[in-house]
Each structure stands twice: as C-alpha cells, then as structure tokens.
Amino acid sequence: MTKYHPLSEEQAIEYARQIPDLFQSRAELSSREIGDGNLNLVFHISEPSTGKSIILKQALPYAKVVGESWPLTLDRARIESEALQIEESLCPDLVPHVYAYEPDLALTVMEDLSDHVIMRRGLIERNQYPLFAEHIARFLAHTLFFTSDLGKNQQEKKVQLGRFINPELCKITEDLIFDDPYRDADTNSIEAHIRDAAEQIWKDTELHLEVAILRNKFLTSAQALLHGDLHTGSIFIKAYSTKVIDPEFAYYGPMGFDIGAVLANLLLNFAGQEGWSTDEASRADYREYLLHTVKDVWNNFERNFRQLWNEHGVDRVFQTPGYQDYFIASLLQDTFGFTGAKMVRRVYGLAHVADIDKIEDASARERAQRLALSIGTKLIRFNRQAKSIDELIQLVTKETTA
C-alpha cells in the first residue's frame, strides 16, 4: 500500500508515469508545483514532445496558508474528486475531467486547464467574459437542483448527503465567515487604516442577528450539494469556456451560499476597481459590466432552475401552486445575505482577495476595502427584506455614489 507523503516535483513525475495510457513509457516529463491557493499542492505535469499534460492535485495534512499548526483532513481530496464527478455528470462542459483519485496519497489526477486563466486574475486585468453568466448560472441551477429534494430521489439524496459530511472544512467556513469577522479574533488580518470600520462591525448587534440567522442556515439547511467555496479563484475561464474547480468544501448546505459566493466575488472586484481602473470613465464602464453580470447570473439561474423544476421535479407536493415562487423568493433573500457575509470576511478576515489586497496605492486600497464593507454589511442587513435582484443593483449603486 502507498503511504501518504507530500510529493516532490520528481515524485509527481514518477507517479504520472505509472498512469496507464497517458504518457509514453520513457517520455521526458516536466513537473512544476503551481499551487497558489490556501490549502493544497498542485503539480502541472507535461510531456513536451507530445504537448500532453495533466494536473496532479494533492491535499496536504494541514492548511498551507497557516502552516502545520492547523491540521486538516485528507478526506477533503475524496470529497473534491467525488463532487467533481457528480458535477461532471450534470454539466460536463463546466468542470475538469477527473482521470483518477488515489486515496492513499490524497491525490486527484485531472484535466489540465492551463489554456484558461483563473477568473480572479482575468477580472483584475479587467477582461470581460460575455458567456460567464450563462455558464455559471447553468452550473448552479443543475448542481443545486439535481442534488436537492426537488430534483433527486429523496432517499438517494440522504445517502449522498452522508458521503459529503465535511466537518473540518465546514468548521473553517463557520469560523472564518460566520464568527471571526464579527469579533476581535486572532485569525483576523486587519489593516490599521480600516480598524475603525471593523470595530464598528463588532459593535453592531443588529448586524450580528442577521449573521446568526445566516450561520444557522449554513449549519442546518441541507438543501443541496454545494460547491462550498465558489469564489472567482475556483473558476478557470477563457472567452468561450468556464470551468469550476476545487470543490473540497462541498457539503449539503443552503443553495444561496454558492450563488452568494459568485456574486460576492464579482462585487469584491467591483470594489477593487478603486485601484485597478485608470480613469473614472473606464471604472464606470467596467463596473457596469460587473453589475450586468451579477444581474444576469441571478436571472439566468432563476430561469434555468424554474425550468428544471417544471420539467424534472420529483416531488408532487412541491408542485403545489405558489410553492415554487415561495422557494425562489426565499432563495433570493439567502443569496443577498450570503453575498454580504462573503464580502465582509474577504476584507479583514483570515483570507483576503487579490482584487483588493494587491492594490498598491494605500488610499485606493482603503477606499476599496471600505466600499466592500459597506456593500457587504448593507446586503446582510437587508437580506430578509429583499424581493428582487434589482434591489441588489440599486443598493450597490447607492453605496458607490454615497
């Protein structure tokens, strides 16, 4: 039996050579560790003579972003490979293909997507992706509908839920999104110039009530199999293709958490335009594109989801007139709340986003941070009153011009 050990670049090559039907037996292979996320090793293995390449993703037994003092289960590699395979069965063009999963090494062998870019980087470079909203809405609608009690055999759903009990990764989210940003926690990483804004949030008990309600939904609402960490660093993109990667945080949770993750990361980039746009007019243009995308994601999602429900709904009672509208209305409200919570944590929690952190000019960065916090907190406060996606656009526009 292969015992777990973190692979070196050379060992990654040795492993890749043994994968049947992939590389020529004596081929010259090259390996680069390219992981820039918070948790894992990622090796890019290529055979220059044929141009073939693959990705080996290996979980480390600790959180890389913090170090060995934060142990983390290797089972997340299984969760990730199984989630990717379920997602591939539902929307094959929107995820990388998994060639193999090696449990002893916590290693997943998957399709190389190096011809795409990480979407966060693409947005920082101010590229536009006209097909993104359609793609991600289809991903969200299909994965959330067909793993839920609306679209999956309800006994099979319970069994599947059991395979995605993911306590350690969920605990990261419970702490880093729904607790630590609302108190003076050691894990927070607060730039001195926005400490006053963080302290305001720590005192805001009305806001804390909304966060408590959202936290309870994250802890208890097993609506569907979520990706669980669907930010723009978990999306590879190019003009005509979108690929969702990295579902190691997958678990059965509230649908609005995944939709909110997408919207929050578009809005974090919106806030970051304080530092990335060269002039007022180009900032306004790019922001308009981002807001259009936010609206299109929701509208496409709602249209897709309702259509799946009407054509593939498995539950007679859930076809009762009025129930679908009730469900969508409450999902929109959750989406507002989770969008806000996912914005706040990225400004001064443990893990930030490059869209804001990499702004070199300190005053532009501070403006971006304050804007992200004001949009995020307003969305959290307003979430249970939300009735339409247009209100989100209006709220963002109002905070930006305030």
Interaction site with ligand SR1 (CB under 6 A): 38-39, 63, 65, 172-173, 176, 229, 350-351
| Cβ 377 vs Cβ 207: under 8 Å | yes
For residue 135, what is the enclosing H or E element?
helix 132-146
Cβ at position 245, least distance to Mg ion in Å: 8
Distance CA 396, CA 390 (A): 10
SS3 content of the chain, % helix, strand, coil (to 5): 60, 15, 30
Distance of CA 121 to the CA centre of its chain: 15
In which residue are the tokens 């945080």 written?
249
172 touches, from Mg ion, ligand SR1, none (C-beta below 5 to 8 Å by class): ligand SR1
268 touches, from Mg ion, ligand SR1, none (C-beta below 5 to 8 Å by class): none
Q: Figure out which of the listed residues 37, 96, 337, 376 binds Mg ion, where binding follows CB under 5 A.
A: 37
In 3-state terms, what secondary structure has residue 327?
Answer: helix
The piece of 29-37, 195-203, 358-366, 392-400 that touches Mg ion (CB under 5 A) is 29-37
Q: For Mg ion, which is the closer residue by CB, 172 or 255?
A: 172
Q: Which residues belong to the annotated binding site for substrate?
A: 229, 345
- The Cβ of residue 88 has, within 10 Å, a number of other Cβ atoms equal to 16
Q: For ligand SR1, which is the closer residue by CB, 39 or 211?
A: 39
Task: Using CB atoms within 10 Å of the CB of residue 45, give its burial: 0 to 12 exposed, 13 to 18 middle, 19+ buried.
Answer: buried
262 touches, from Mg ion, ligand SR1, none (C-beta below 5 to 8 Å by class): none
Instruction: Determine, following the binding rule CB under 5 A, whether residue 122 of this chain makes contact with Mg ion.
Output: no
Residue 2, CA atoms < 13 Å, CB-side half-sphere: 12
Distance CA 200, CA 217 (A): 25
Q: For ligand SR1, which is the closer residue by CB, 214 or 395?
A: 214
264 touches, from ligand SR1, Mg ion, none (C-beta below 5 to 8 Å by class): none
In 3-state terms, what secondary structure has residue 44?
Answer: strand
Instruction: Determine, following the binding rule CB under 5 A, whether residue 366 of this chain makes contact with Mg ion.
Output: no
223 touches, from ligand SR1, Mg ion, none (C-beta below 5 to 8 Å by class): none
The piece of 37-45, 219-227, 265-273, 317-325 that touches Mg ion (CB under 5 A) is 37-45
Cβ at position 177, least distance to ligand SR1 in Å: 7
Q: Which residues belong to the annotated binding site?
A: 40, 57, 111-113, 229, 246-248, 345
Cβ at position 38, least distance to Mg ion in Å: 7
Residue 88 corresponds to which tokens in the numbers above? 């591939």
Q: Figure out which of the listed residues 82, 246, 258, 399 binds Mg ion, where binding follows CB under 5 A.
A: 246
Distance CA 258, CA 260 (A): 5
16 touches, from ligand SR1, Mg ion, none (C-beta below 5 to 8 Å by class): none
Instruction: Determine, following the binding rule CB under 5 A, whether residue 247 of this chain makes contact with Mg ion.
Output: no
Strand partners, 46: 30, 53
Q: Which residues contact 301 (CB under 8 A, 6 or more apart)?
A: 137, 140, 141, 259
Q: For ligand SR1, which is the closer residue by CB, 308 or 343?
A: 343
**Interacting residues toward Mg ion by CB under 5 A:** 37, 246
